[in-house]
Structures are given as C-alpha cells and as structure tokens.
C-alpha cells in the first residue's frame, strides 16, 4: 500500500538505529526504489567501524554504521546516482524543492535551529532533520535547497555520517596490508603531512606538532601523544593518537569533543628531540610568564613579546601581540609581573581595534605575518593555557 506524505517522515525516523534486515528498514528501502544503484563501504577510523552507504536512483540514501542505520538522506538535486533528485513535496506537505527556510518553518510549524553555514535543522518526534542550502545565504532564496538529512543525534553534537566519504579527509588513514590491517604510523603521518601541504587539513598548533609526534612517542615520556587537524571541507577534526602501551588510534570529532581530549604537558624538547629539532627550538618562541585570562610573556632570540587580551565589545575579545620596547623591557626588569599586568590593562583600555590606539600599529597579530606569529605563540604557550590545564587534568597524570 502506498504511503501518504505524512507517513513518509515517520517511516524514516522509525528506521533509524535499526539493522538493515529489520522490516522497518526494508519498508524504507522499498519506498526509495528497492535495489540501490550503488553500495559504498569503507572502514572508518581506528578502532574502526564499517560505514555502508546505500544510494538509490530516486535520490534517497541510507547510511549504516556496523549494520545500524545512522542517517537517511534525501538528495533534492541531481547526483551521479540520482539524475533527477527527490521531490520534497512527496515527503513534506506544503514544501517543494524550491523551499526557503521560511517555507520549511511553516511546513514543520516549529522554529529552525542553526547548525553550520547554510544549514539549519528542526527537532522532530524521534529525531532531527537538517536541511542544507547552496553556499552563500542560499536559505533565503528559492531554488537553493540541496538535501535533507535525518538522524537521531542532534546536529552539531556528533559528526555527520555523510562525512564518512569526505573527499578531503576520508582516505587519510594508512593501514598495513589492507583495509583491516593495523595502523601504519609512519605512513599515516606522511599522509597527514601531505594533506596539510595540499590545504585539505589545517594543523592545530595547540596540540602536538605533527612533525614531533613520532619522536615524542618514541621517547616514552608521555602516556599518549596526539596531533589534531581540521578538515577544510567537512570541518571534522582528525585526532591521531599514539599511546605508550597500546595501539595507535585515529578518529574524527567535532570541536567540543576534540578540545576535551586529554593530553599531558609536553616535556622540554631537550628530553626527546634529535639534534636538528633541538637546534630548531633554540630559535623558536618560548614561554616566560603569564597572568591567567589576561596576558602571556614570551621570548624569541632576545626579544620579549607581550600577548595581551583586550575587549572589543560585550561579545568579542581578542589579543594583541606586541614586541616590548627598550623602555618597556627596563620597566619589566624593575617591576616584574605587576608591571606587565599594568601594561596589559593599558592595552585593554586602548585596544588595537581603536583608530587612536598606540598599540594599533604595534600589534603583530594584525599584520601580514599574523599567521606566523600566531603559530609561534601557540607553540610557545602550549602547556600554559586554560585549555591545556583542562587537558592535563583530564589525563590524570
């Protein structure tokens, strides 16, 4: 018996978290067109789970993790598997493929919630539906709706299963001897490094540097060493972790979960680096002192830099990195920590965002070399930030 439009979304929600052989899933498969035109499988992460994607000519897709349905997609624009795309009006009364966010709001009679750029979701009875629009404020204009995704997990709290096939980061992990083999650590580091060079991944400077990962691990000074890298396409964070007494781990996380992962304080490079790495560190920026929530003092090749936090407005605060002048260095030698707190207060009161700020031109985080200075600063204070203290506490070491 044919299903009405009002019955189709409940059919999707009923299928979530059921096995592929379950009758409810079989009913959804029948509505999508019985036989998928393409089946894609891959092992994701380590420890691995099997991701299986069923693509139908109608535009429907079903994604399973270890034989459990975790996501159902309605592709509303043509794809290689679905030349036509689904007709949304057959699934959502009062909505068509031309729908804007306002039209969808009326169709679902509830408020939408923002999840990520050009993507909004609605809470349903038993799950969530997330609508994706074409890039660039597409949700305000008709004919920009691209897909609808149904999950049990609230969007933004877990990685989207659809990103299992992200073209930028899904094939990074290298295994020994096939898709179910052990992690090839050196091969995976090389793969991650290549992805960074190609712009597919961006390294997080507040975790272990990718170039340091294997040396730190080999020293056995840390229980676990971890590098984190953000995908420039799907925005998932890749966490590659080497343990002192356990096999390597490789996983994908969203920002909040990635930030909560444990990490001990990184030991001085002299205890684990080779001669080249130790030499490199001599020229790097180094931590000297700080006042929690206010400022950091760092040094590089005899120059002292103050990284001071300042408030732009009630919603935004930033930091300015300035090289101390000879007069300021002398005042610091005389007044120490307290002097730097007073200087940081002056920077906050006359922040570089103000046109008449005396620190506007001195702010190294506002110029052409901002990324270079930011990376050097992040590496210098890696063990001393609030986030680092949380990671160290959660590591239990």
Residue-wise pLDDT tens digits, 222-250: 999 999 999 999 999 999 999 999 999 99
What own/partner pairs with CB < 8 Å and gap ≥ 24 does 84-92 have?
84/58, 84/59, 85/59, 86/58, 86/59, 86/60, 88/145, 88/148, 89/5, 90/5, 90/8, 91/5, 91/8, 91/9, 91/148, 92/5, 92/9, 92/148
Query: What span, in angstroms and rounded, lies between the C-alpha atoms of 57 and 60?
Result: 7
Query: What span, in angstroms and rounded, lies between the C-alpha atoms of 395 and 261?
Result: 8
Over residues 94-99, the mean pLDDT reads: 94
Given pLDDT bands bounded at 50, 70 and 90, which one contains residue 161?
very high
Q: Each residue of 181-228: pLDDT tens digit?
A: 899 999 999 999 999 999 999 999 999 999 999 999 999 999 999 999
Given pLDDT bands bounded at 50, 70 and 90, which one contains residue 86?
very high
Q: In 10 A of CB 247, how many CB atoms?
A: 12
Question: What Å distances lie between residue 314 and 297, 318, 356, CA to CA?
Answer: 25, 12, 20
pLDDT value at position 367?
Answer: 85
Query: What span, in angstroms and rounded, lies between the C-alpha atoms of 150 and 73?
Result: 6
Q: Each residue of 255-281: pLDDT tens digit?
A: 999 999 999 999 999 999 999 999 999
Q: Is the pLDDT of residue 1 over 50?
A: no
Over residues 7-20, the mean pLDDT reads: 94
Of 226, 177, 241, give the one whose Cα is nearest residue 45: 241
pLDDT value at position 262?
Answer: 94
Q: In 10 A of CB 176, how many CB atoms?
A: 10
**Strand ranges for 254-336 from DSSP E:** 286-291, 295-300, 303-311, 317-323
**Spatial contact of 48 and 25, defined as CB atoms under 8 Å apart:** no
Q: Which two tokens stand for residue 46?
A: 């380590």
Q: Is the pLDDT of residue 2 over 60?
A: no
Q: How far is Cα of residue 38 from the mean position of the Cα atoms in its chain?
A: 29
388 Cβ contact list (under 8 Å, min separation 6): 206, 263, 265, 381, 382
Question: What Å distances lie between residue 308 and 211, 296, 302, 338, 345, CA to CA?
Answer: 29, 7, 19, 14, 8
pLDDT averaged over the chain?
A: 94
Query: What span, in angstroms and rounded, lies between the C-alpha atoms of 316 and 66?
Result: 43
Over residues 57-83, the mean pLDDT reads: 96
0.75 surpassed by pTM: yes
Q: In 10 A of CB 146, how many CB atoms?
A: 18
Q: Is the bond preceding 3 in cis, omega lying within 30 degrees of 0? A: no
Q: Each residue of 27-64: pLDDT tens digit?
A: 999 999 989 999 999 999 999 999 999 999 999 999 99
pLDDT value at position 359?
Answer: 95
Angle subtended at Cα 202 by Cα 80 and Cα 388, rounded to the nearest 5 degrees: 135
What own/partner pairs with CB < 8 Å and gap ≥ 24 does 118-123 have?
119/155, 121/154, 121/155, 123/154
Parallel, antiparallel or unpaired: strands 68-75 and 145-151: antiparallel
Of 173, 195, 165, give the one whose Cα is nearest residue 80: 165
Strand order in the sheet with 286-291: 286-291, 295-300, 303-311, 317-323
Q: Which two tokens stand for residue 112?
A: 């939408």
* Percent of the chain topping pLDDT 70: 98
**Spatial contact of 235 and 364, defined as CB atoms under 8 Å apart:** no
């Amino acid at each position: 018996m044919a299903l009405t439009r009002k019955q189709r979304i409940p059919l999707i929600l009923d299928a979530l978290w059921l096995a592929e052989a379950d009758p409810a899933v079989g009913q959804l498969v029948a509505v999508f067109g019985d036989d998928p035109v393409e089946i894609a499988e891959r092992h994701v992460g380590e420890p691995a789970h099997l991701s299986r994607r069923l693509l139908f000519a109608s535009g429907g897709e079903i994604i399973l993790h270890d034989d459990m349905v975790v996501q159902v997609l309605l592709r509303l624009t043509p794809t290689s598997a679905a030349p036509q795309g689904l007709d949304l009006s057959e699934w959502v009364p009062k909505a068509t493929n031309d729908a804007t966010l306002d039209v969808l709001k009326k169709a679902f009679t509830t408020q939408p919630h923002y999840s990520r750029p050009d993507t909004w979701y609605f809470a349903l009875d038993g799950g969530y539906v997330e609508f994706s629009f074409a890039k660039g404020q597409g949700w305000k204009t008709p004919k920009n709706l691209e897909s609808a995704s149904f999950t049990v997990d609230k969007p933004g709290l877990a990685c989207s299963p659809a990103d299992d096939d992200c073209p930028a980061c899904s094939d990074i992990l290298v295994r020994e001897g096939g898709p179910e083999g052990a992690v090839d650590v050196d091969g995976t580091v090389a793969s991650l490094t290549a992805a960074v060079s190609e712009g597919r991944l961006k390294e997080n400077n507040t975790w272990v540097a990718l170039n340091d990962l294997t040396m730190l691990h080999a020293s056995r000074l840390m229980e676990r060493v971890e590098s984190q890298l953000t995908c420039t396409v799907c925005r998932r964070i890749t966490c590659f972790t080497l343990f002192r007494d356990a096999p390597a781990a490789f996983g994908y996380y969203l920002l909040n979960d990635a930030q909560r992962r444990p990490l001990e304080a990184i030991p001085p490079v002299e205890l684990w680096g080779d001669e080249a790495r130790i030499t490199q560190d001599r020229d790097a920026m180094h931590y000297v002192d700080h006042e929690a929530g206010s400022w950091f003092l760092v040094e590089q090749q005899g120059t002292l830099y103050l990284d001071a936090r300042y408030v732009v407005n009630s919603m935004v605060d930033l930091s300015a990195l300035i090289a101390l002048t000879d007069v300021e260095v002398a005042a610091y030698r005389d007044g120490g920590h307290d002097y730097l707190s007073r200087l940081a207060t002056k920077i906050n009161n006359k922040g570089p965002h103000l046109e008449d700020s005396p620190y506007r031109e001195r702010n190294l985080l506002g110029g052409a070399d901002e990324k270079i200075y930011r990376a050097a600063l992040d590496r210098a204070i890696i063990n001393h930030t609030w986030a680092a203290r949380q990671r160290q506490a959660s590591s239990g070491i």
